């Protein structure tokens, strides 16, 4: 009767440490131990409290919180693209296809997209890799983008956000029985969910530092150093890079990957977000292909993109894709199986991917309005300039020029007094800064240590994709807060 409280010798559940619960910390997937709890949790909770207080009429020095802690255009106040939303609405509610309130090309496009859905509904499952016609349209987009270099639909998989595909490609690469453990080279700073995915699989992150002095450029010597540092610790099999990047590094990085037999994981989510003058996005795949043999046919590469980060900014739809290059067909089979596991990506997100990769053309009724994206680009270019100007004008604050992406990652030169105060509070110094900035300035940013930074340096990170007026307000609040903070702890 009381057998639950006897040790089980037969089926071996003898690791149970507490009698009342089955699943205690000691028993679970031990890789969970290695997963850093994300610290923005506490900041996010406080931001939500403050928002609720403001709604209830509590008086603060600001009327609303400016939410720029993640790369989220709509969250930061940017407007969605009308064409995209109109097509999606008509797909969701097909009677709109017959309504004269929507432009003709919108209605035709919705009709076409529904024709691709099983049973003509966005409510049915699609094929595991995605709706075949959309996968095809993505491959055409890649081919156009890369100046004609072929792209094969069989190598493309659509997933619920690109983070999902990054995790799942890693899942295939990480051999859990390898000894020493599998390692993955990652940049510092790095998107923290990628770090989470790696550690959760039981693999080891091998950090390489981007050069802050050179606008956060990647340096091949540093890759070399990082790889050396892994000796005896783990066995690196992959190199994760974030592109846009200065093109000069592509060839040496690919050579490095080839020499060291590293699988290239290329995060190309920010391919639309290139700001430098005369700069144009070039994909790793294009460079690889142009390098010719032996590289072009051997270096294994996965390139990620999504509807979250371009000018669509549709993070909430959760759809991205990965293109795989040079993979062994036997491995591709496993990639297929793993992408089948969760059925399919959200169908509306898949349709948004189609709209992103095959937008209205000159002559289409929606074409003039689709130029909203040029407005968004202009706003981003302007914001980048303003953030750079304002931050560099503040004492103890600096920001290298930036050429791509959605984030500012300026450096804080905190005074010893500020660092001391943070320590007393049990906080990382930059978390302390962000907490005060949120509390006093109503600006929700995140601390640099969450993404990694050189020992003894401090940063904050915020998204630059906010409408101009919000960005100006943000910079005003940040400047005024910063001056007070520096004075308080001088």
Task: Give Rg (Cα) of the chain.
Answer: 24
Rounded to a whole number of angstroms, the minimum distance from the CB of residue 247 to a second copy is 23
> How many residues lie near ligand PLP (CB under 6 A)?
14
Binding at 123: pick from ligand PLP, a second copy, none (beta carbon under 5-8 Å per type):
a second copy
Instruction: Give the whole-angstrom CA distance, residue 87 versus residue 171.
Output: 35
In the range 137-166, which residues lie near ligand PLP by CB under 6 A?
Answer: 161-163
Does position 127 bind a second copy by CB under 8 A? Answer: yes
Please pick, from the candidates 108, 111, 200, 296, the single residue that binds a second copy as defined by CB under 8 A: 200
**CB nearer to ligand PLP: pick between 109 and 318:** 318
Asked if 189 touches ligand PLP (CB under 6 A), the answer is no
Cβ proximity of 14 and 8 under 8 Å: yes
Q: Which 8-27 residues touch a second copy, going by CB under 8 A?
A: 8, 10-13, 15-16, 18, 20-25, 27
Q: What is the C-alpha to C-alpha distance for residues 407 and 465, in angstroms, rounded to an integer?
A: 8
Picked from a second copy, ligand PLP, none, the partner binding residue 289 (CB below 5 to 8 A depending on kind) is: none
Of 58, 154, 176, 393, the one binding a second copy by CB under 8 A: 176
**Residue 124 binding a second copy, by CB under 8 A:** yes
Write out the H or E segment, with its range, that includes residue 320: strand 320-325
What is the Cα–Cα distance from 290 to 298, expressed in whole angstroms?
Answer: 13
483 binds a second copy (CB under 8 A): no
Residue 242 binding result from a second copy, ligand PLP, none, given CB thresholds of 5 to 8 Å by partner type: ligand PLP
Decide if residue 169 touches ligand PLP (CB under 6 A).
Answer: no
Residue 54 or 92: the one with the smaller Cβ distance to ligand PLP is 92
Per-residue binding string, ligand PLP, 112-141, x by CB under 6 A, is ------------------------------
If contact means CB under 5 to 8 A according to the sort of partner, which of a second copy, ligand PLP, none does residue 20 touch? a second copy
Number of residues that bind a second copy (CB under 8 A): 120
- In angstroms, the CA 135 to CA 133 distance is 5
Single residue of 103, 107, 113, 126 touching a second copy by CB under 8 A? 126
Residues 6+ apart with CB under 8 A from 201: 31, 167, 170, 171, 174, 176, 182
Interatomic CA distance for residues 205 and 133, integer angstroms = 37
Candidate residues 248, 343, 413, 468; the one interacting with a second copy per rule CB under 8 A: 343
The partner in contact with residue 58, picked from ligand PLP, a second copy, none with C-beta cut-offs of 5 to 8 angstroms by kind, is none
Nearer to a second copy, 257 or 282 (CB): 257
CB nearer to a second copy: give 25 or 279.
25
- Candidates 50, 75, 356, 481: give the one binding a second copy (CB under 8 A): 75
Per the rule left: phi > 0, alpha: psi between -120 and 50, beta: everything else, 220 is alpha
The yes or no reply on residue 363 touching a second copy (CB under 8 A) is no
Q: Which is nearer to ligand PLP, 196 or 335 (CB)?
A: 196
Give kind and range of the element (H or E) at residue 235: strand 234-242
Chain residues 40-59 in contact with a second copy, contact rule CB under 8 A: 44, 48
> What does 269 bind: ligand PLP, a second copy, none (CB cut-off 5 to 8 Å by kind)?
ligand PLP
Residue 72 lies near a second copy (rule: CB under 8 A): yes
| Helical H segments across 234-371, by residue range | 250-259, 284-291, 329-340, 347-357, 367-370
Residue ranges in 241-270 that form contacts with ligand PLP under rule CB under 6 A: 242, 267, 269
In this complex, which beta carbon is closest to a second copy, that of residue 17 or of residue 487?
17
Cis-peptide, bond into residue 294, ω within 30° of zero: yes
The strand order across the sheet containing 301-306 reads 156-159, 320-325, 301-306, 263-267, 234-242, 181-188, 204-209
Partner that binds at residue 447, options a second copy, ligand PLP, none, CB closer than 5 to 8 Å by kind: none
Selection from ligand PLP, a second copy, none that 61 binds (CB < 5 to 8 A by kind) is none
Query: Is position 187 an interface residue for a second copy (rule: CB under 8 A)?
Result: no
> Three-state DSSP class for 185?
strand
Which residue stretches of 425-467 are H helix? 429-436
CB of 426 to a second copy, least distance (A): 18
CA distance 309 to 73: 8
Nearest to 212 by CA among 458, 395, 416: 458
CA 488 vs CA 85, 201, 443: distances in Å = 47, 44, 19
The token pair that represents 158 in the structure block:
């659509």
191 binds ligand PLP (CB under 6 A): yes
Omega before 169 within 30 of 0, i.e. cis: no
Minimum CB distance to ligand PLP smaller for 265 or for 414: 265
**Who contacts 300 (Cβ-Cβ below 8 Å, separation ≥6)?**
263, 264, 324, 325, 326, 327
One of 144, 225, 333, 454 touching a second copy (CB under 8 A): 333
- 443 DSSP β-pair partners: 66
Q: How far apart are CA 123 and CA 344, in angstroms?
A: 12
Provide the binding-site residues for ligand PLP, judged by CB under 6 A. Answer: 70-71, 161-163, 191, 242, 267, 269, 306, 308, 315, 320, 343
């Amino acid at each position: 009767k009381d057998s639950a409280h006897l040790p089980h010798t037969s089926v071996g559940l003898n690791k149970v440490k507490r009698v009342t619960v089955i699943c205690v910390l000691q028993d679970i997937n031990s890789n969970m131990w290695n997963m850093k709890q994300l610290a923005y949790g506490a900041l996010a909770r406080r931001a939500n409290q403050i928002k609720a207080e403001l709604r209830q009429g509590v008086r603060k020095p600001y009327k609303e919180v400016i939410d720029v802690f993640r790369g989220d255009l709509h969250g930061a106040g940017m407007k969605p693209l009308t064409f995209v939303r109109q097509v999606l609405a008509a797909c969701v509610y097909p009677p709109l296809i017959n309504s004269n309130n929507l432009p003709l090309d919108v209605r035709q496009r919705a009709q076409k997209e529904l024709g691709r859905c099983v049973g003509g509904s966005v409510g049915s499952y699609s094929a595991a890799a995605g709706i075949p016609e959309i996968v095809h349209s993505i491959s055409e987009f890649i081919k156009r983008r890369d100046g004609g270099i072929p792209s094969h639909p069989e190598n493309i998989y659509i997933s619920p956000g690109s983070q999902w595909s990054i995790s799942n490609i890693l899942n295939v690469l990480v051999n859990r029985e390898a000894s020493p453990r599998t390692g993955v080279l990652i940049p510092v700073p790095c998107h923290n969910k990628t770090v989470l995915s790696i550690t959760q699989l039981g693999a080891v992150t091998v950090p390489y530092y981007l050069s802050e002095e050179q606008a956060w450029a990647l340096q091949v010597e540093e890759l070399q150093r990082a790889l050396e540092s892994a000796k005896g610790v783990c066995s690196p099999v992959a190199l994760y890079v974030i592109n846009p990047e200065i093109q000069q590094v592509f060839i040496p990085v690919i050579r490095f990957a080839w020499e060291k037999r590293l699988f290239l994981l290329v995060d190309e989510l920010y391919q639309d977000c290139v700001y430098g003058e005369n700069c144009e996005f070039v994909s790793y795949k294009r460079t690889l292909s142009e390098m010719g043999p032996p590289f072009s046919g051997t270096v294994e590469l996965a390139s990620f993109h999504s509807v979250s980060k371009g000018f669509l900014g549709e993070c909430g739809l959760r759809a991205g894709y990965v293109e795989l290059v040079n993979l062994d067909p036997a491995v591709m089979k496993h990639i297929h199986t793993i992408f089948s596991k969760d059925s399919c990506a959200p169908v509306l997100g898949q349709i948004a991917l189609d709209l992103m990769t095959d937008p209205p053309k000159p002559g289409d009724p929606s074409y003039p309005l689709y130029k909203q994206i040029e407005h968004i680009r202009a706003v981003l270019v302007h914001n980048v300039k303003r953030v750079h100007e304002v931050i560099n004008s503040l004492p103890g604050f600096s920001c290298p020029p930036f050429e791509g992406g959605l984030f500012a990652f300026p450096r804080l030169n905190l005074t010893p007094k500020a660092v001391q105060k943070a320590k007393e509070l049990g906080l990382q110094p930059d978390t302390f800064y962000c907490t005060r900035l949120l509390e006093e300035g109503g600006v929700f940013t995140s601390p640099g240590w969450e993404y990694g930074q050189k020992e003894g340096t401090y940063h904050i990170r915020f998204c630059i994709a906010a409408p101009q007026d919000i960005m100006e307000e943000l910079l005003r609040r940040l400047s005024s807060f910063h001056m007070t903070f520096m004075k308080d702890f001088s």
